[in-house]
Amino acid sequence: MITAIANQKGGVAKTTSTIALAGLLAHQGSSCLAVDLDPQGNLTTGLGVEVSEGQLTTYEVFTEQALVLDAVVETRYDISLLPTDISLAKVEKELINQEGRFYTLRQQLETVKDKFEYILIDCPPSMGLLTINALAAADSLLVPVQCQFFALKGLEAVLQTIQTVKEKLNPDLKVLGVLPTMAEKNTVITQDILKTLRNQLDGIKVFDPVPKSVKFAESNLAGEPIHVYAGEWRLVQPYREVIREILLLEEAMEEEEED
């Protein structure tokens, strides 16, 4: 099961969510590959990996100079990582005229589908070539949104892109749901935003919100998934719900295959 974590808006907790989910999947004993598709490399550093000179990264994978497994490194907490540094930024320009450029990642991930039960792709904050590649490769998509006034406005563009990708590149893409993040407890604004999301997103699941907590920033700095850094139920529970949804979708897909 390949899951992309995407939203063109920056700072909505895409990377934090990827680490939280990868941590929980690895903790339950599943083999999990986290793919850093953001030239900022926050997932890479967030998992405690520093890319050294000459090290193979997502860039070499994208430009077909390396296979995924050549570049994958093991991190603490049993999460495998396809690491990234700023060199990945060149890809958008380099592949611009290449035929089949939207399927590069999909083809590369095909080679490791038997090796990992779960692959999570942390996308950059844009709907450019990299994110399109993630959506073309993914079985499912999680959209984190920050609980703030303009959350819904940004979402419209995301939903539009998903629709286009489904029509043109990947008809099987399933939206797991929208994950509200950084929710301030019991404020009227947060309640309002959640209500609006639930009313307006027809047929799309809105997960229980991830509370706002400084523990997430601290866990990023410590290079630890949130369940390791802070075992607080209220911080981890929304992510467990996302995993439950991934498992349900997986079952449904298996049944479909059998039919």
- Of the ranges 41-49, 98-106, 131-139, 201-209, which one interacts with Mg ion (CB under 5 A)? 41-49
Q: Centre a 10 Å sphere on the Cβ of residue 99 and count the other Cβ atoms it contains.
A: 7
- Tell me how far, at minimum, the Cβ of 93 lies from ligand ATP, in Å: 20
In the three-class reduction of DSSP (H, G, I as helix; E, B as strand; rest coil), residue 45 is classed as helix
d(CA 167, CA 161): 10
Instruction: Give Cα 145 to chain centroid, integer Å.
Output: 12
- Of the ranges 26-34, 35-43, 92-100, 168-176, which one interacts with ligand ATP (CB under 6 A)? 35-43
Contact with Mg ion (CB under 5 A) among 2, 8, 14, 62: 14
Q: Which does 57 bind (CB under 5 to 8 A by kind): ligand ATP, Mg ion, none?
A: none
Considering only residues 156 to 185 of the shown chain, the ones binding ligand ATP according to CB under 6 A are 181-182
Residue 210 in contact with ligand ATP, rule: CB under 6 A: yes
Closer by beta carbon to ligand ATP, 21 or else 119: 21
d(CA 22, CA 5): 12
Q: Which residues contact 117 (CB under 8 A, 6 or more apart)?
A: 1, 25, 30, 31, 32
Residue 181 in contact with Mg ion, rule: CB under 5 A: no
d(CA 90, CA 208): 37
Q: Centre a 10 Å sphere on the Cβ of residue 70 and count the other Cβ atoms it contains.
A: 10
Contact with ligand ATP (CB under 6 A) among 60, 125, 205, 240: 125
d(CA 202, CA 174): 14
Q: Which does 10 bind (CB under 5 to 8 A by kind): Mg ion, ligand ATP, none?
A: ligand ATP
Contact with Mg ion (CB under 5 A) among 15, 84, 140, 219: 15
d(CA 185, CA 209): 10
Nearest by Cα to 12 from 121, 111, 148:
148
H helices of 37-145, where?
42-46, 58-62, 68-71, 91-94, 104-110, 129-137
- Tell me how far, at minimum, the Cβ of 214 lies from ligand ATP, in Å: 6
Lay out the site mask for ligand ATP across 215-244 (x = CB under 6 A, - = otherwise): -xx--x------------------------
Q: Are the C-beta atoms of residues 133 and 37 closer than 8 Å to each other?
A: yes
Q: Which does 179 bind (CB under 5 to 8 A by kind): ligand ATP, Mg ion, none?
A: none
Residue 213 in contact with ligand ATP, rule: CB under 6 A: yes
- Tell me how far, at minimum, the Cβ of 40 lies from ligand ATP, in Å: 6
- Of the ranges 36-44, 86-94, 205-213, 238-246, which one interacts with Mg ion (CB under 5 A)? 36-44
> Which residues of this protein are in contact with ligand ATP, per CB under 6 A?
10-16, 38, 40, 42, 125, 181-182, 210, 212-213, 216-217, 220
Residue ranges binding Mg ion (CB under 5 A): 14-15, 42
